[in-house]
Amino acid sequence: MNSQRILKIAKKVLKVESQAINQLIDKLNDDFEKSIQAILNCKGRIIILGMGKSGIIGKKIAATMSSTGTPSYFVHPAEAIHGDLGMITNNDIIILISNSGETSELIQLINPLKLKKVKIIGMIGNKDSTLANQSNFNLDTSINEEACPLDLAPTASTSATMALGDALAIVLLELKGFDKEDFAKLHPGGSLGKKLILQVNEISHKGNRVPFILENSTIKEALLTISDMGFGVTGVLDKKDELDKILSNYTNNWKTERLGSVDLIVMRIALFEILHCDDVPPIVAINEAVHFANDLSSFQSGKFVNGVLDSILHELDYPQKTSTNSNDQ
């Protein structure tokens, strides 16, 4: 088999599947809108059922919905008719997936589901089928042809169904105002979760584990600190007591050791610049502190740091030193 034929077959598959997805656009109707409204008003969870390849797609749709703010899970129809139906409550909404619309395991569930008075959304490839007629809302996933040359293996039909599931999930995400912070809370593991929610104070060394020497320490003491702590560097505390004394007067009587390490460090730096660095405008010092607190500490740290430094600045006798505006954060 030559390379041209290989690429020709592959391109045909992608063309057939992309056409199947594009055709869904014209099939979106009132039932799609009603399905979205029903899910938004749902007091329970979204339960997805499907057999075979439809079941695999159902698992993917349930996973996508759950990770984007719509609690969902997959129930295997064969297990449902043998007891797992008890997992479904009358507060849930059901999504049935079937290309033929005549999947026997799903048909057996129709009456038990109706006894629970749950709403049923059908993602069905045959609008004249039993399941389509028994669903409260019917989302048409019919296609012209499968990408399989035998027109047997689910290919274009599964791609279309999965794409429509993504459309449901993303519409719900936007209508719920689901944002990056919400996404991060549901994805704490791996590089994605760490990138979004891992904070410096979770991995930073604190207290006695941080290498510091006083400004009047000897070189020998500096070298011993570097060696003992194993960091290869040491910090030098300059005017620390003066800065901490001032800060403690503006932190609701909290002792500095009770403050978050990142918050304390950025406030010390900003206050040092305000008091001792004439070439740094106070507004710049505070804005930088707020920026670093927001990026490196908790979501509320920026407001806290801004409030403390702003209060200190108002007490100082520097007319030109006006505070930062919290709206600039």
Strand order in the sheet with 137-140: 72-74, 46-50, 93-98, 119-124, 137-140
Question: CA distances (Å), 72 to each of 66, 165, 188, 266, 298, in order?
Answer: 5, 12, 19, 42, 30
Same domain assignment for residues 187 and 283: no
* CATH number of domain containing 163: 3.40.50.10490
Residue-range definition of the domain harbouring residue 68: 3-196
- Is there a single domain that holds both residue 129 and residue 191? yes
**pTM of the complete model:** 0.64
pLDDT band for 222, please (50, 70, 90 cuts): low
**More confident of the two residues 78 and 243:** 78
Residues 13 and 157 in one domain: yes
pLDDT of residue 321: 41
- Asked if residue 248 and residue 188 are part of one domain, the reply reads no
Buried b (16+ CB within 10 A) or exposed e, 112-126: ebeeeebbbbbbbbb
For residues 36 and 305, give the distance between their C-alpha atoms in angstroms, rounded to a whole number.
Answer: 42
pLDDT of 329: 40
pLDDT reading at 186 higher than 70: yes
Helices (H), the chain: 3-27, 30-40, 52-67, 77-80, 104-115, 130-134, 156-176, 180-185, 190-197, 200-203, 219-229, 240-248, 261-276, 282-296, 301-315
In percent, the amount of the chain with pLDDT more than 70 equals 79
pLDDT at 128: 95
Q: Please say if the pLDDT value at position 242 is more than 90.
A: no
Average pLDDT over residues 104-114: 97
Report the range of poorest mean pLDDT among 145-159, 245-259, 311-325: 311-325
Highest mean pLDDT out of 1-5, 155-159, 275-279: 155-159
**Residues 315 and 255 grouped into a single domain:** yes
Least confident range from 59-68, 152-161, 257-266, 286-295: namely: 257-266
Same domain, 26 and 156: yes
Higher per-residue pLDDT: 149 or 297: 149
Phi/psi-derived region of residue 147, left when phi > 0, alpha when psi is between -120 and 50, beta in every other case: alpha
Number of domains in the chain: 2
* Domain match, 60 and 119 both: yes
The more confident residue out of 48 and 320 is 48
Q: Which of 10-14, 15-19, 324-328 has the lowest average pLDDT?
A: 324-328
Q: Are residues 84 and 168 in the same domain?
A: yes
Residues 55 and 48 sit within 8 Å (Cβ to Cβ)? no
**Mean pLDDT, to the nearest integer, of 170-184?**
92
**Is the confidence at residue 100, as pLDDT, over 80?**
yes
- Mean of per-residue pLDDT scores for the chain: 85
The CATH number of the domain where 304 resides is what?
Answer: 1.10.940.10
CA distances from 117 to 68, 97, 130, 210 (A): 26, 19, 18, 62
If one compares 70 and 225, the residue with the highest pLDDT of the two is 70
